[in-house]
A and B are shown apart, each in its own frame.
Chain A
Amino acid sequence: MDAQMKKGLLDACVLYILIKGDTYGYKLTQEITSLLETSESALYPVLRRLEVQGHLETYSAEHSGRLRRYYRITAAGILRLNEYKVELLELKKVIDFIAGGDENG
């Protein structure tokens, strides 16, 4: 898959997972890699970028004697996710069109 497209999809996936509830790095990675074929270490830059852009924020909570960092979506992140949804709906139209063409052909 094109890296630029994957980048956008990664951002959207992360934000979508977070809107369902706060989570931590490992869990997030497992969910993403089951969807998109990507390196497991590729997620950190994505999370860091989204944090710097203000789309998500972090907090620490104790877990079995150590601190675990949790990610939480922000209001700006929700707005961004909605933008992604609009873009993806457009993309879906194209995909349906192409897939439909295959069926007819």
Chain B
Amino acid sequence: MDESLKSFLTELRARLSGFPESETREAVEYYEEYINDALEEGENAENILSHLDSPERIAAVIMTETSIRKAQSKPGLKNYSNVLKYSRTLITKPLSVLLFSIFVIVTYSTAFLLFLGAIVSAAAACIVLPGAVYEALKIPAGFTAEIIGTIGGGLFFAALCLLPAYGLFKLCTLFIRLSASLVGRILNKPGNQLRDTRQNSTIGISSPSPDSEGITDAGEKGEKIAKRAGTSRWIPWTCLIAITVGLILSLSTGLPVKLFMIFNSTESSSITTQEWEYSKSDVNKISITTAHSHIRLEKGSSDKIKILYEQPDWMEPEISCANGQLTFEEKSNGRLPLFFLVSLHENRTDVVVTLPAGFEPAELKLESRGGFIYIETGDFNTKVKTYTGSIYVEKGTAMTAGVKAGTSTGIIQAAGKDAGTKTAGGIKYEAVVNGGKAIEIETSRGSIFIDWISSRGA
């Protein structure tokens, strides 16, 4: 065989490197056989080569064609990027290169975003269901309804995440199929870059559209496609069934209603009121901590220290009085799932602490995670702290204690006006401290209102 023919085959093989070995071998063998047959028929090397395209072009056409076919039968990001990689080499005109670059960027990023969306939704579904089961396992055995409700809710949300994941994934594959087919059409356009300069003819790049492929491909392949389409349809149906079952399960237990009421600051229906009374001679220090009930500090007419607690059925109080220390703590009884998040929202139940006139504790601590704190009395050292709740201090004429307040992301208003100095960590406010007595206020996300005329009656 002539040197020029050998180098033609060597270059073709080199150009096809990076392509599956079986495909490369098949193509090179075809052209080798073709050349041998042509020589046998008496053609000379120069004549043969003049009738063939350059190895570069042949390789690019084969690789593009194969990659488009692959992207359509298995539409994934990798296969689509191969289509773009190989077809790029077939485009040479500067304007076409620019337009094709834009096409590549737009279609590839769209496909990528669709794929990413599908992954994120699927990941969310994978987290939600085990998370719900974990939360349900933490609920004490006595609360069967809440356990079922939590698992039902998890099922509902997981399926709700899985459905768009499936939809986005299908959309992504459809988009890749269409884009790959479009690449084929762009390259096939008459008078386009593919026109062979020597032969003045075009090279056919095939791009069977997905539906026509399904119809025209008889035999095994068609069956396989139909089978794939049939088996994948159970996913959305399973999702819809899971959504319905999950919704019915959780709704029937009343758990969503309970959470809805909390998150909409609606008065709870399942409340039992409890009251404790202590003699002021027994108490020196007071500490009140709630998860998300409000705390109200009031001045009373009797000479007893009173604590009134509106107890919702998902809470339990813990109260003790020893050695002058009165401690009240509101805790979750484990009935509500995700209580850590639930308690960020205030619950419309109150812990009312009534202090007798003239009573002055050595230390007073009021703390609530998600509830509001109202202080209507308190000419003594008081420490007030919330995470998301706001704090109201009714510092009328009777109250002379100074105020030190700070909030990270909330606002501070004193006598209806914006007050305080902005610092790196939020807003700080300080009013004159009389006789060393001060109310120290701290909240992370809530706001602080001083001199606030409470809208609620005493």
Chain A contact residues, CB within 8 Å of chain B: 1-4, 6-7, 10, 24-27, 29, 37-42, 44-49, 52-54, 64, 66-69, 74-76, 79-80, 83
Contact = CB atoms under 8 A, between A and B. Distances in A.
A54 B34 contact: no
B243 to A, nearest CB: 40
B31 A44 contact: yes
> For the side of the interface on B, what is the size category?
35 or more
A49 B69 contact: yes
Contact of A2 (B26, B57, B190, B203): B190
B58 A3 contact: no
Taking chain A's interface residues, is the majority helix, strand, or loop, or is none over half, making it mixed? Answer: helix
Given A48-B26, A48-B66, A68 B204 contact: no
A53 B189 contact: no
Contacts, number: 110
A32 B41 CA distance: 17
A48 B62 contact: yes
B188 A26 contact: no
Given A27-B37, A64-B40, A66-B36, A42 B203 contact: yes
A45 B199 contact: no
Contacts of B220: 54
Interface string B190-210: 100010100101111110100
B51 interface: yes
A39 B37 contact: no
B216 A69 contact: no
A69 B33 contact: yes
B221 interface: yes
Given A3-B188, A54-B221, A39 B196 contact: yes
Contact of B201 (A4, A27, A38, A47): A38
Interface string B85-121: 0000000000000000000000000000000000000
B53 interface: yes
B62 A53 contact: no
B194 A54 contact: no
B134 interface: no
